[in-house]
Amino acid sequence: MKILVVGGGGREHAIIMKLAESARSPELYCAPGNGGISRYAKCFDVKATDIPGMVALAKKLQPDYVFVAPDDPLVLGMVDAMQAEGFRTFGPRANAAIIEGSKIFSKELMQKYGIPTGRYEVFNDSEKAIAYIKAQNTYPTVIKADGLALGKGVILAQDEEEAVAAVRSMIDDRQFGESSARIVIEEFLTGPEVSVLSFTDGKTVVPMISSMDHKRALDGDEGLNTGGMGTVAPNPYYTDAIAKECMERIFLPTIEAMQKEGRPFSGCLYFGLMLTLDGPKVIEYNCRFGDPETQVVLPLLETDLVDIIEAVYEERLAELPITWKQENAACVVMASGGYPVKYESGKVITGLDEKGQLDGVRIFHAGTKFTDNQFLTAGGRVLGVTATADTLADALTQAYDAVDQIFWDNVHYRRDIGLRALAARQG
């Protein structure tokens, strides 16, 4: 069996290392991949968004499955293009990936089907948006670009000045191009955030272990928003009672809604949830595995991932029991100093073995290059150092012990990943 994974970050490395554990012993390919991934899969220099290039690569490799991991190729229709050529592909088609590709689509879907989410209005005219903000006069308020914006399309405006500036740069200055021609202005929600990834074949939805991301760059949730500086799983705020409520009020209704709209969703659907005093509400949907959520969720998966991919593709997920290790996982992201704004690449990483690993932990490479038998930094987020253990405290200790053994010039990471989860567990 051969599998081609599209993408080249920590998430894709975690997917590939899970596939490498499969009893089906698949031959693994990745495009574009990275230095760490290249130690586990043959990598090809094709951009994740290059649909014709990726289809040509698939024609050459003839994989049994193509796994499209990142948001952009999914929203651009890579799954449709692969399927048109007869390749069995994991991931939603473009008409379902729109659940992440357009915030307006997802808000309208939730409103139409009564799925709990924050109140909102849609605007394409900055003057009307600003008049609405002034009339509301409640802060913080949330301003979101409709389309994909490299994870930077959400502004939590603390006052009128910030809100007006965000509206003007999105609509008038097209800060994110056509992605910000239309915006959503949304009610600010509070409560613990939970990420729940799920497998779905369009009919059945199987939630994975819950997780908690740490999005801000600095300790104490200070600094800029990033792609994610660390994760833990499971999320202690996500109790069995809340899981049941989410299944009934959010997960199943979403899958059914997509089906009724003629947009059946197949692949991994990510629910970004806020546990508010009025119950769980959807903050966002992602049409793919989260990064770095995948790095803590997949190591806890017991079931063979290849079997799941096959069951999803063949629409018989309901027949496959999926089981999880009763353990905890923690991932600490090591980044280049200056991330997410400006940083240097090409620094020599020390402390890793020839496979880019370290005993006792899993190192998922997010941005590395492997040349002359050395790993070099090649991105903002560089490594996701992940440990699993019976307790969260032990998983965190193991992950940070490993972090302490890895160096490069101007490395940056948070020291407080998982501390809030630990307090919640003990409290």
Would you count residue 155 as binding ligand AMP (CB under 6 A)? no
Q: Which of residues 123-142 bind ligand AMP (CB under 6 A)?
A: 142
Among 170, 283, 335, 382, binds ligand AMP (CB under 6 A): 283
Min dist CB 225 to ligand AMP, Å, is 6
Question: Which of 203, 215, 216, 420 forms a contact with ligand AMP (CB under 6 A)?
Answer: 215
The least CB distance from residue 121 to ligand AMP, in Å, is 13
Contact between 118 and ligand AMP by CB under 6 A: the answer reads yes
Preceding omega of 234 cis (within 30 degrees of 0): yes
**CB burial class (10 A; 0-12, 13-18, 19+) of residue 118?**
middle
Under rule CB under 6 A, residue 213 binds ligand GLY = yes
**Residue 193 in the binding site for ligand AMP (CB under 6 A):** yes
Could you tell me which stretch among 41-49, 75-83, 151-159, 170-178 binds ligand AMP (CB under 6 A)? Answer: 151-159
CB atoms within 10 A of CB 413: 20
Question: Which amino acid does the sequence have at 368?
Answer: T
Six-digit token pair at 387?
A: 């440990």
| 188 near ligand AMP (CB under 6 A) | yes
Q: Which residues contact 108 (CB under 8 A, 6 or more apart)?
A: none
Residue 188 binds which one of ligand GLY, ligand AMP, none, with CB within 5 to 8 A depending on kind? ligand AMP
Residue 385 is encoded by which pair of tokens?
């150092």
Find the shortest distance in angstroms from Cβ 92 to ligand AMP. Answer: 18
Alpha-carbon distance of 275 to 282, in angstroms, equals 9
| Nearest-approach distance from CB 136 to ligand AMP, in angstroms | 13
* 193/322 Cα distance (integer angstroms): 25
The reply to whether 201 sits near ligand GLY by the rule CB under 6 A is no
Q: Which residue, 282 or 352, has its beta carbon nearer to ligand AMP? A: 282
For residue 167, the partner it binds in ligand AMP, ligand GLY, none, with Cβ less than 5 to 8 A by kind, is none
Which is nearer to ligand AMP, 139 or 188 (by Cβ)? 188
Partner interacting with residue 290 (select from ligand AMP, ligand GLY, none; CB below 5-8 Å by kind): ligand GLY
Nearer to ligand AMP, 160 or 193 (CB): 193
Nearer to ligand GLY, 167 or 208 (CB): 208
Segment lying near ligand AMP (by CB under 6 A), choices 122-130, 188-196, 348-356, 358-366? 188-196
Question: Residue from 12, 186, 293, 327 that binds ligand GLY (CB under 6 A)?
Answer: 293
Cα distances (Å, whole numbers) of residue 149 to 18, 30, 145, 392:
29, 24, 7, 33
What tokens does 113 get? 């089907």
Rounded to whole angstroms, the Cα distance separating 342 from 76 reads: 28
Which residues is 329 bridged to in the sheet?
233, 388
Indicate whether 100 belongs to the interface with ligand GLY (CB under 6 A).
Answer: no
Footprint on residues 272-291 left by ligand GLY (CB under 6 A): 286, 290-291
| Amino acid code (one letter) for 132 | Y
284 scored as a contact of ligand AMP (CB under 6 A): yes
Instruction: Report the residue number, 37 or 143, with the smaller CB distance to ligand AMP.
Output: 143
Contact flag: residue 201 with ligand AMP (CB under 6 A): no
Q: Which residues bind ligand AMP (CB under 6 A)?
A: 118, 142, 151, 154, 156, 186-189, 193, 215, 272, 283-284
Q: Which residues bind ligand GLY (CB under 6 A)?
A: 213, 228, 286, 290-291, 293
